[in-house]
Amino acid sequence: MVARIKSLSPIELERAKPAPAPREIAVRMLDLVKTYRDGTEANRGISLEVQRGEVVAIVGPNGAGKTTFLRQLTTELRPTSGSVSVFGVDALAEPQQAKRAMGITPQEAGVFERLTVREHFELFAHLKHLSKREAREAAREVIAELELIGETNKSVGSLSGGQRRRILIGLALLGRPPLLVLDEPTTGLDPASRRAVWGVIRRAVNTGTTVILSTHYMEEAERLSDRIAVIAAGRLIAFGTLDELLTRMDRSYSLSYRDPIDPLSDLRIRYFASFAQAQQHIARELLSEYSIARASLEDVYFTLTGEPFDKDETETIG
């Protein structure tokens, strides 16, 4: 007698799959408040959890409190109240232990201009407690990743502004820390250099690294991050994937077209809550030439903050 095995439908197969294991929380910041002596409230009760291996982008208007937020995470600035934990370590009680898990690129930092690129990386690798051999290997790897091989033996003082910026990013990568905290890492870089840095960040994430970065570039936030946090006036006003943020807009699809009877007429733009509604309008108007676009992160940003995103905050540097 042959036993019959019941075949499962696709829905039943999907239900039979084990639920994915919850990802470890890499960073947890709860009710973070920073009030300065003059009464300025830079952060107002921000709570944020970042999962291990996740890329989170922080965006917001100038003066919104993004850098203050990151400086509290890196233990450089103590919050007025709230808590910060990094891989389970209380960063306020044990700042040095928490900081050992991080690679940090601040907005601005000095460099040792008389050292060569290789010497610079090897010095900082030693400061991260790497042996002489490990420091030499780490410097070689970072120089290659950041496409600075041709500058290996040049003094840092002779490099362009963009190359110096890449060195600061390389210093964060030394020792392969499990958490990278990058404050506007590609500000001022030309598009090619910016994309090279994106590649470095993606490769780090592929090995399990967690990344928290602030950025002035919407394209960077869209392309690199798993989730995006919008901070305005010191508060976290939105946090989620791009698709989740798009749901904050009542009409997130735009339809662009010209009058089909008068192809030379001005371009018309209509907004719809769904792709289906845009298609229905196309059918009603018998449109043959048109374009449909989903709203961008920049559109969401404007909807949430009421401010256009500042694209001209800095000039690119080579």
* pTM (2 d.p.): 0.80
Question: What are the residues whose beta carbons fall under 8 Å from the beta carbon of 134, sequence distance 6 or more?
Answer: 125
Label residue 75 by pLDDT band (50, 70, 90). very high
Predicted local confidence at residue 80, as pLDDT: 96
H helices within the chain, ranges in order? 10-16, 66-73, 95-99, 117-127, 132-145, 161-173, 191-206, 218-224, 242-246, 275-285, 297-305
pLDDT exceeds cutoff 80 at 31: yes
Beta pairing class for 55-59 and 227-232: parallel
Predicted local confidence at residue 264, as pLDDT: 77
Measure the CA–CA gap between 247 and 295, rounded to whole angstroms: 10
Predicted local confidence at residue 314, as pLDDT: 42
More confidently predicted of 265 and 286: 286
- Any idea what DSSP says for residue 228? E
Beta pairing class for 235-240 and 253-257: unpaired
Cα separation values, 68 from 78, 194, 251, Å = 10, 24, 33
Q: What are phi and psi of 160, to 5 degrees?
A: -75, 165
Q: What is the pLDDT of residues 225-265, one digit of tens each?
A: 999 999 988 999 999 999 899 888 888 888 998 887 777 77
Label residue 141 by pLDDT band (50, 70, 90). very high
Class of domain 25-243: alpha beta
Q: What is the pLDDT of residues 170-217, one digit of tens each?
A: 999 998 999 999 999 988 788 888 888 898 899 999 999 999 999 988
CA 122, distance to chain mean position in Å, is: 27
CA dihedral 170, 172, 173, 177 (to 10 degrees): 170
Per domain, the residue ranges of the chain are 25-243, 250-294
Percent of the chain with pLDDT over 70: 89
pLDDT exceeds cutoff 80 at 268: yes
Question: What are the residues whose beta carbons fall under 8 Å from the beta carbon of 49, sequence distance 6 or more?
Answer: 25, 27, 28, 29
Label residue 61 by pLDDT band (50, 70, 90). confident
pLDDT exceeds cutoff 80 at 91: yes
pLDDT exceeds cutoff 60 at 12: no
Measure the CA–CA gap between 137 and 121, rounded to whole angstroms: 10
Mean residue pLDDT across the chain: 86
Percent of the chain with pLDDT over 90: 48
Predicted local confidence at residue 246, as pLDDT: 86
Token pair of 192, please?
């090619």
Label residue 13 by pLDDT band (50, 70, 90). low
Label residue 317 by pLDDT band (50, 70, 90). very low
Instruction: Give me the mean pLDDT over the 87-116 stretch.
Output: 90
